[in-house]
Amino acid sequence: MNYASMENWKYMMFIIKKIGVLGVAIYMLPLQLFSQQPDTAISTTHTNMHTVASGLNVQVLPLDSILSRIDRNNVLLQSYGLKAESFKYSADASTAWMAPMVGLGTFMTPYPGQKIMDGRDKGNLMLQLEQDIPNPAKLKAKKSYITSQGNIERANRDITLNDLKSAAKRLFINWLIAERKILRFRENESILIMMKKTEEIRYTYNQAQLGSIYKADAKIEETRNSLHIQEAVIAKSRAWLNGLMNVPGDEVFEIDTTYIPVFTLAPTSDTAELSAVRKDVHKMDENIHSMELNIKSMVLEKKPDFRIRFDHMTPLAAGMPQAYSIMGMVSIPIAPWASKSYKSGIRAIQYNIQAMEKERSAMLIEAQSMLFGMQYDIQYMQEHIAGMEEKIIPALQKTFDAYFLNYQENKLALTTVIDAWEALNMMHLNVLDEKLKLYEMIVEYEKQLYR
């Protein structure tokens, strides 16, 4: 055997060994990758990711922690607290009295050129003090009414907080599903790369088609592009969540990917139970209460107000005594031309309260119907996903395993295996898409429940 023949023989043995190693790896691939349930594999991988994140001092935030930070730090929510505080000081200001009036002038002083018969006709220099004294019951009622405006702002804050929490939950579950898709795409990439390498070796011995290699290469690039899309979803979700938590948008953190939204059926058979948890109903109750306090304040307008005036006169003529005058005054708001104002105002507010009560009832009926409909949608979606995971995916898995076994025995082309693999992979991704829809439906249900 010459030198060239010896080199060819060594190279052939090297190729055979490589094929054998790849063949064993490919044979074990379905057992390693598909013997686990998808959620188990994802959970294990995420645990590893969190371990790495901890090593890099990257903070891992569960959903509850994100929601509490939004409640505590969100700038928009802080504005409602400031508005409520302003009404507190406005209520204190409403109990203040008018400032006293001071006047200085002459009293009964004759015009120049007039003939003065007596010294006392010269008139007086007068100092006048005047003070309005409001009715205490009116001030107390007005203070209660203005204070109630702060409660409306706090109710507005609760509504906004519920909306922000729903937005944060949507971002969180989009991030969560994107993480799971990334894991799926990485597994796909590894399997496709190994298939491509096997096909390249087989092509060397005319046991494969060149088109199969190109198809595998295209699927690899397609998988990588899909992976980049999900990375963009994560980056966007992270930036928006940072904004909701009032931190710089580029601050790096990870989420707790073990979280799984759970649908809890709420008691909605009775509108009274629903009214106890709905934030918008609570706001409407506060509005009605505030209007009732306003009516009480207006009813007290029929009570009188008071005024006191003190006049001190110093005569301009010598020898004349100093004099004073004290005057107490009271308003008469029950006069017909005066009472018309507050009586008509009271009647207008009463009609507004009746309208708001009707609106409140309509709101509860609409919310109840909506929640019932959403409950059926969520239950249907849960059954739909369970059917995909328990029936369709196992059938596609068996198909792929059978095709892959034939491929290992060189009885089937790689393109057919890739088609089976693609069908299985698409079903896994469809399940993730349906879970995303389900989780968003749960978030929307909770938003409508506590809105």
Q: Please indicate, yes or no, whether residues 154 and 18 belong to a single structural domain of this protein.
A: no
Q: Please indicate, yes or no, whether residues 29 and 41 belong to a single structural domain of this protein.
A: no
What per-residue confidence (pLDDT) applies to 193? 87
pLDDT at residue 346 above 80? Answer: yes
What per-residue confidence (pLDDT) applies to 405? 85
What per-residue confidence (pLDDT) applies to 174? 94
Between 206 and 147, residue with greater pLDDT? 147
What per-residue confidence (pLDDT) applies to 135? 87
Structure tokens given for 308: 């006191």
Binned at pLDDT 50, 70 and 90, residue 120 comes out as confident
What per-residue confidence (pLDDT) applies to 268? 65
Looking at the structure of the chain, the number of domains it has is: 2
Burial 59-77 (b: 16+ CB within 10 A, else e): eebebeebbebbeeebeeb
pLDDT at residue 444 above 70? Answer: yes
Cβ atoms 103, 130 nearer than 8 A: yes
Q: Which domain holds residue 48?
A: 36-450
What per-residue confidence (pLDDT) applies to 337? 74
Cα–Cα separations (whole angstroms), residue 58 to 61, 176, 220, 255, 416: 10, 17, 30, 10, 43
Between 308 and 55, residue with greater pLDDT? 308
What per-residue confidence (pLDDT) applies to 70? 93
Whose tokens are 């938590």? That residue is 245
Q: Please indicate, yes or no, whether residues 155 and 67 belong to a single structural domain of this protein.
A: yes
pLDDT at residue 415 above 90? Answer: no
Calpha distance 88→78 (Å, rounded): 16
Q: Please indicate, yes or no, whether residues 308 and 323 belong to a single structural domain of this protein.
A: yes
DSSP character at residue 98 = P
- Residues 59-106 pLDDT 10s: 899 999 999 999 999 999 999 989 998 988 888 888 888 888 999 998
Whose tokens are 């507004």? That residue is 352
What per-residue confidence (pLDDT) applies to 35? 38
Q: Please indicate, yes or no, whether residues 12 and 161 belong to a single structural domain of this protein.
A: no
Calpha distance 301→342 (Å, rounded): 7
User: Strand, coil or helix: what is 412?
Assistant: coil
What per-residue confidence (pLDDT) applies to 29? 44
Percent of the chain whose pLDDT exceeds 90: 30
Q: Please indicate, yes or no, whether residues 223 and 300 belong to a single structural domain of this protein.
A: yes
pLDDT at residue 14 above 60? Answer: no
pLDDT at residue 56 above 70? Answer: no
Calpha distance 333→304 (Å, rounded): 6
Task: Look up the CATH number of the domain holding residue 338.
Answer: 1.20.1600.10
Q: What is the mean pLDDT of residues 267-291?
A: 83
Q: Please indicate, yes or no, whether residues 60 and 107 belong to a single structural domain of this protein.
A: yes
pLDDT at residue 32 above 70? Answer: no
What per-residue confidence (pLDDT) applies to 192? 83
Q: Please indicate, yes or no, whether residues 361 and 218 belong to a single structural domain of this protein.
A: yes
Least confident piece of the model among 197-201, 322-326, 399-403? 197-201
What per-residue confidence (pLDDT) applies to 269? 63
What per-residue confidence (pLDDT) applies to 208? 66
Calpha distance 130→417 (Å, rounded): 100
Which of 400, 397, 390, 395 is CA-nearest to residue 431? 390
Q: Please indicate, yes or no, whether residues 28 and 68 belong to a single structural domain of this protein.
A: no
Q: Please indicate, yes or no, whether residues 65 and 24 belong to a single structural domain of this protein.
A: no
What per-residue confidence (pLDDT) applies to 15? 44
- Residues 351-398 pLDDT 10s: 999 999 898 888 888 888 888 888 899 999 999 999 998 999 999 989
CB contact set of 159 (below 8 Å; sequence gap of 6+): 279, 280, 283, 451
Between 411 and 251, residue with greater pLDDT? 251
pLDDT at residue 52 above 70? Answer: no
Calpha distance 280→354 (Å, rounded): 17
Q: In whole numbers, what is the pLDDT of the chain averaged over residues?
A: 82
Whose tokens are 């899909």? That residue is 226
Cβ neighbours of 145 (radius 10 Å): 21
What per-residue confidence (pLDDT) applies to 169? 94
Beta strands (DSSP E) in 138-212 are none
Beta bridge pairs of residue 59: 253
Calpha distance 92→95 (Å, rounded): 6
What per-residue confidence (pLDDT) applies to 274? 81
Q: Please indicate, yes or no, whether residues 18 and 126 belong to a single structural domain of this protein.
A: no
Q: What is the mean pLDDT of residues 315-331?
A: 85
Q: What is the mean pLDDT of residues 257-271?
A: 80
Least confident piece of the model among 18-32, 109-123, 281-295? 18-32
CB contact set of 323 (below 8 Å; sequence gap of 6+): 124, 312, 313, 315
Q: What is the mean pLDDT of residues 178-196?
A: 88
Q: What is the mean pLDDT of residues 114-123?
A: 78
Q: What is the mean pLDDT of residues 151-159?
A: 91
What per-residue confidence (pLDDT) applies to 27? 43
Q: Please indicate, yes or no, whether residues 72 and 22 belong to a single structural domain of this protein.
A: no
